[in-house]
Structure 1
Amino acid sequence: MTQSCGFVAIVGRPNVGKSTLMNRILGQKVSITSRRPQTTRHQVMGIKTDEETQFIYVDTPGMHIMSKDRNKAINRFMNQAATQALRDIDCVVFIIDRTRWAPEDQVVLDKLEHVSAPVILAVNKVDWLEDKASLLPWLDEVGAKRDFAAILPISAKHGTNVPELEAEVAKHLPEGIHHFPDDQITDKSSRFLAAELVREKVMRQLGDELPYQMTVEIEEFKTDQRGTLHISALMMVERQGQKKILIGEAGDRIKKIGREARLEMERAFESKVMLNLWVKVKRGWSDDERALKSLGYDLD
Structure 2
Amino acid sequence: MTGSADFCGLPIADGAVVTVGTFDGVHRGHQDVLRTLVRRADIRGLPSVVVTFDPHPLEIVNPLAAPPLLTLHDEKLEMLAQSGVSYVAVLPFTSMLAAYEAEHFVDEVLLRRFRMRELLLGHDHGFGRGLMVDTEVLRALGGDRGFDVTVLPPVHAADGHAISSTAIRRAIAGGDLARAAAGLGRPYSISGTVVHGDRRGRTIGYPTLNLATPPQRKLLPPDGVYAVRVQLPAGAFGGMLNIGPRPTVGDATRRIETHVFDASGDWYGTRVRLDFVARVRGTTGFPDLEALRAQLARDEVQARAVLAATS
TM-score by length of 1: 0.33
Higher relative contact order (CA 8 A, sep 6+): 1
Structure of larger gyration radius: 2
- Normalising by structure 2, we get a TM-score of 0.32
